[in-house]
Structure 1
């Protein structure tokens, strides 16, 4: 009996049990991955891996998730990711500074909510404009918010350099300032937010976002609240980016500086969702791994081939050329990103008859991974 016939027979005899088994089989790889991330990696990882690779990888994946909810699922163009990250970082810093009794996790959540409120304000033009014009308005917000944080000393507690050191990281009296502690704090936040996002995109809100993304006029005709859907996407996306910004400042850099969240950061996050795949939760992690590891790989290859004779500026230019070429390639050849490639490869490796229906390559239709 073939595998397809076996599954059909199982469904006929005990459809509920068969569905539970298939759900368990899909969840098992993710459970093993989380076990490795929470148990094995803290025991085997080095300070270099935590500080230079794992922590920035997780935070950039979280920022990519925020932008992906806004662009990949709701179809709202944005170049204000850096501004949302800076808002979350400064908001969390001031909450910890001025309300020291608030626990760190609550401060992170509140900082994200404040960034979400700013995202709603930035998203108001989306009710009237779309596409390039909306992109330009979010770009203006990026420059405006960056200027405000640098101009007004209250946000940085009147530091002369507009840059302040992050407060001590501790939860329930446990010091998290070590590389392992910062990694576990970041990993916990990323896993929790990603799980909520995965449920959200499958909910009625997520379906409304998809309808607005595909055609907002048709969505309005069938009764989808277009304005509320757009603003909710800006709120959720900016809130997630705000938490990512706070983690970037506290768990990675150890300092809060608006210059760390400039336009380059917004483009970097956009590259993550283009390379990883728009409309895919797992694509954010794939794209972040690509963006974080590629510069390290290029540096290692340069040192091996040229013995360190390549100037750092030339190496940075080569990285930009490689990024640009890859972005163009993905936009032309594989607009659904690496997540779609991974899903098709996984489908080919599975036994015949268990792969399920084929999905199209449109961004937003590749989100079954994760």
Structure 2
């Protein structure tokens, strides 16, 4: 098994060792939680500390919702409550998760899936996707995984940190639970949280990682995961590869993608439908602006409508970036040549 190649970005202040628990990024700043101090520290995009916030609770796991432009965080003392924070890190709401399965574990990690507009909640044994009204829309569980630490969804992939026998591993898998790549985390590091850089291209996923070294030194790490499909041109065991969804050829460290011709088609179709929906939204906003110009009684009303249209356009731009990256990723899946893919009609 390959060992994950990690590059040190920055060592964090030693007086906070073992205190940093969660990390969020709002597109401009990084936010690190320190629950024992009821603090959240803020860094700029050059990883320099610029300020700190006293918060009302000892928040641990945290994530940023790009659509609502707010944070979601978990109190380290509680099991099933999630708190909503505004951009000033002030508590504005909270809700309870009615779990579908029995577990004694607390919430380990939070992340936001912009593509589905869902909140991803990680427990030991399973992962939940919650809709905007906090209902469960999807449950991620794998009988081969009994300890999730973190999970981020980057369609069509799941990127997760799991733990087994005291060791941590990073897994890149498809949404149908097929493991594409698995890396061993170097023994000198313990990963606490990670953020996926949304500018990751179709061939490389870039991660910013919050970790602790074995010397109790907190740090930020960087790594790039290459989305490389099995490079073999002739896999003699391609039939078995299709059955097990793994490559059994000499390039065993590069797992074949599962035969997902239909899945790729479905994902491309969903992108097309979302693009159509976005075009209707933009058209409706244009019509709204035209009517507002005719009906407005004063400049204040026009400014209010203009602000509303601008907010909608900004949200559409965020979704467009996600769809573009998703389409590039799917294109990359179809490029490598492998007999497994040829049998499925992907080439």
TM-score, normalization: structure 2? 0.23
- Greater strand content: 2
Scaled by the length of structure 1, the TM-score of the pair is 0.22
Larger relative contact order, structure 1 or 2 (CA cutoff 8 Å, min sep 6): 1
Structure whose residues are more often helix by fraction: 1
